Structure 1
Amino acid sequence: MAFAINCKMKLFFKHFPLLVHLILLSADKARGEFHGEERQALMDLVSGFNSSFLHHNWTKVMCLDTDPVARWFGIKCLNGRVTGISLENMNLTGKIRPDVLTNIPLLVELSLKNNSISGPMMDFSNNPNLIRIDLSDNRFSGEISSSLLKLDSLAFLHLQNNNLNGSIPPFDQPGRLQFFNVSYNNLSGPIPNTTLLQSMDPSAFIHNQNLCGPPTSTPCPTNSSTDPNPDNGSDPKKHSKKSKLPPILWAVNVVVLVVLLFLFIIYFKKYRKLKKQAVEKQNAEMGTDDQNVNIEGKGKRMTGYVEGESKGKLVFLDGGIRFELDELLRASAEGLGKGNFGNCYKAMLENGPTVVVKRLRDLKPLSSHEFMKQVGIIAEQKHPNLMPLIAYYYSKEEKLLIYKLASNGNAYNRLHEGKGKPSRIPFRWSSRLAVARGVARALQHLHSNTKSSNVAPHGNLKLSNVLLDENDDVLVTDYGLTTLVAAPLAAQRMTAYKSPEYQSSKKVSRKSDVWSYGCLLLELVTGRLSADSAPAGTTAVDLCSWVHRAVREEWTAEIFDVEIAVQRSANHGMLKLLQIAMKCCERSPENRPEINEVVREVESITVVADSEDEEFSSMDPSLTDDSMSATSPRIHNE
């Protein structure tokens, strides 16, 4: 028996290498089959497009880990398998077969935004790992694919700006789907009453003419149904009973209404009495009267109810202007706009200055002492390019920040409003460079006076937060508000330009501010609206991707806004500022410069005096494509 076992063991070890080899061959064969299926799926995808670039690029090894340069453009891989397809801003046209993604089961991300792809949506039944889908700004038509309901891991769904029709499927992935937008389509019918869809912001559904129901303000029409058993007069007794029923119901309804009205009057009187007693008791303890604060629209007074620990007191933070809360309450108020954490109003005091009042909301719970401490930190940030905080108001119901008025508006309106109109005053190169310098100096001051390197000292940098005073001096506002807001809300709302690390992990830091500054510079030199900071409903582009493509395809001269491109003597400065912006927009935070280095480079740009009436001429070729390829870093768009 032992001899037989020994013989079998010897035979097993003798053939063991062969068995291992056969197992590895089977695994390679299976991997090859997967690779072949995924490759064919991608070839089917690109066959529907008009892109000669993709047809020439997608010819080498698909997911070669040993040679990243040889990888297919826009394709992300993991362990030799396709996990991501990102073909954004490529002017792609054509249609996609609905089943084209069937053989790419490990797909995690699909982004085809800002193209002109038409036809029905794809079927995602075989892609259960999808986390992000972005088909926005295309021409997809037909109904929203019901296969999306099966994607339990789906966190981001962008379908806005297409031609989709039909009804919205009953999405209900609470805790998973963080972003959902189907605005600017042709959808119809009531919005499904699911927890997820009802929690979405109404802006996610706007500009769908026949869409109705909450969370939008458009009510659904009521269908008047006919009586399923109409009275045809065949039963006179039955008809007699029906004719007597309405007066009886009316009498019952009247009695019920009278009783309810009587109960309501009693309750209201008792409520007013208890409230009066509570207010009198509180006033006796606090030694002060209630004040009214409620800021309304243009021409309205600031009235309403406020109560709190520091009732009736405005706390001023500098030695300048002074006024009482009563004066502010009597001021005529005009709405300036809605921000991420409150609305802004211009308050015109009767016998005093005009100020800007920021009414804060969604703050983390702070006591009077904690709020005063955090506001004090903001007020300590003194710099010529920072909008100073002159006063604040605190109560349990209201928190107000008060600033001086920047009479010449903000840089966003200065750059984008009135373009193409004869009445527009050109936004010249020297003015744009002044904005770039002022913002850089303000950021440098904030970065050098913030202790922690793991926070964004500004956190919400964008052109609309760059103000211009009566002398066109640059003043950055909305800084330091991260200290007043809960961390999750701050990360969600306060990053205007979405850096790569923010998009992947919601992380913000000083390098996030540098990224935002780079995007701000790109907006200044190109004159184009950025998709990250543009208002809802406006046509915008992903500036970083667009500029990268312009440099790669060697049409750099078309990057610059025509309004400044006519100033030929400014070509060197514009090119230099573009190079700085591209450095700030490096995908990896470690590769972005520190703000001190950015300030030095921006300050080194000189303004050469030239004629305001120069006619447009092409930029010097030596200063465009060749110099960009030689001196500028690449913006990676994977």
Structure 2
Amino acid sequence: MLPAFLLLLLLLPPLLSVHHANAGSLDTDVAALSAFRLAADRSNALATWNNLSSNPCAGTSPQPWRGVTCAGGRVTRLVLEGLSLSGSGALPALANLDGLRVLSLKGNALSGPIPDLSPLVGLKLLFLSRNALSGPVPPELGKLYRLLRLDLSSNNLSGAVPPEINRLDRLLTLRLDSNRLSGPVDAIALPRLQDFNVSGNLFSGRIPAAMAGFPAEVFAGNADLCGAPLAPCKEEAASSCPPGAAAAMAATKPAAEGGGGKGKMSRAAVVAIVAGDFAVVGLVAGLLFCYFWPRLSGRRSDRRHREGEKIVYSSSPYGAAGVVAAAAAGAAPERGKMVFLDDLSGIGRRFELEELLRASAEMLGKGGSGTAYKAVLDDGSVVAVKRLRDNPTPVAASSSSSSSKKEFEHHMTVLGRLRHPNVVPLNAYYYARDEKLLVYEYMPNGSLFSLLHGNRGGPGRTPLDWAARLRIASGAARGLAFIHHGTRRGRSGTAGSKLEAHGNVKSTNVLLDRAGEARLADCGLAQLGCCSAMSGYRAPEAPAPASASRPWATQKGDVYALGVVLLELLTGRCPAMAAGEGEEALPRWVQSVVREEWTSEVFDLELMKDKGIEEEMVAMLQLALSCAATAPEQRPKAAYVVKMVDEIRACREEPSSGRGELSSSSSMDESSAVSDSPAVSEGGGGPAVSQ
């Protein structure tokens, strides 16, 4: 018994050392890098890789190893782009770098098949484009479940895309363009793809409906691909013929071919049938015209005689449809008037209602509060007009129409006093019993929503950079802080003369003026009862729209919505669609990623071209999540949000020493380059986010 015990003691250290080696160590990393250099570096581009005199992970090394980045004593990044590396047996050595998070070998001359990289279970970014790799896409890539970006473009890969790729449910980028891949593309079903390209291959078949939203360029160069956004497939083109046309073609085909067999119709019979159909249709149309025309013309004449207001017959889309309905019911139409508020700087001058209704109008958008239009007046000046949704009810309004009008006019007076560089000013309004119009200064640069989400991935889009997003965040926060705190010093000095809350903060209500400054729109319209917080921006404590007995707007609810807007700026995602249905979709999705680990997955792909901003993005993420806290008492005040955003902006003016880089290589400046710095991704050294 004793010898056996001694034998176990003797064997235990070697067994432990073998287990440690299998788990990976810096020594195995150095061995793997040395094997790779020996097989690939024929031009001596990696001369600094000398495992005898230096340590790739030692900050005191006389000369750092080119393209190698470490964290926690392990190699986590290997970025070697455009170094003329070559050879067919070099890549397998890298499979031993089991601590690797980023591998980029773009723009070299590496050849041979892609090896089994499944041991690199922590890999998030894999860029092998612009090499000479051949063979199939290995199905083992489906085991890299953390992978966010995969770029295999501009190689000589062949065969079909393996279905195992669909296991990469986190994948944001998939680029397979400029290869010789074949087979259908409907095998690719990745729900989170943002950057996708399979052009210049041999793919065939129908493009699935889930991919129809990508531009045609990403499918170009595949002669046998069809379906939206490319040309329709042959069976679709055949089925697009109307049934009548198909029947006529079938009927005339035998005659055209000279066939006169039994059961085949002659050309004369077909012409007779078509002529008979036209005659029947014409007869029915004539009878309907004779029956309805006298009634329609009589009713129109009667309306013109009784109403006599130009607003009724205006071709403008914001005409008084309610007045028309009242006149049709026999009620006397109520004529309102344009009421101009103190400051006319946004519209320049006063004008009559008739001039507003003569203006050419273009619809800007439709929301919960009503429909907005761009109107060009007779002198060429431009204003924004909002036609409120039918029958808005002011706060505390009584049932009598006179009291309702008085409350509405008082509320408009309060809104007219909101004069701030980050608030869209209300300059005039029109009130009638069934028609209410608001006239605002026109904001020519559109909304934050359109800037973030419009034409995303399409040609001609200009991404919104980080500096612009910070400026917009600051402007929106300043406007909200003014509404919450600055309006208490109202000029009237009367009770109820201030606006307590905005009530409908969302990215479509963050507009940009001529100077690019953000301004909050639709201030105070929630208190009229004509709108409620949009899905995705509504605070957890807010009543559902269907169950709300009266208008609901609070400062804490505004701060929650502002936090969602900040998350929208950071992620580039639509709040209501970030994680399926649910009011807290975007905050819940971000929190789930943050709880798992610090990862660049939450940040917008379009921000990845900006360098050295990850610390600012993390700070903004902390602030946004604190604003979107589930408990209202945990949310900061709007003035505090302004202070924190200004501090983040001030960091951009300070020297950038000590900041992490998005990439360890300056050549990683394409849209596929994604930050994966340990301070953000690996949990080490990254600040915690308060729930």
Q: Structure 2-normalised TM-score?
A: 0.46
Larger CA Rg, structure 1 vs 2: 2
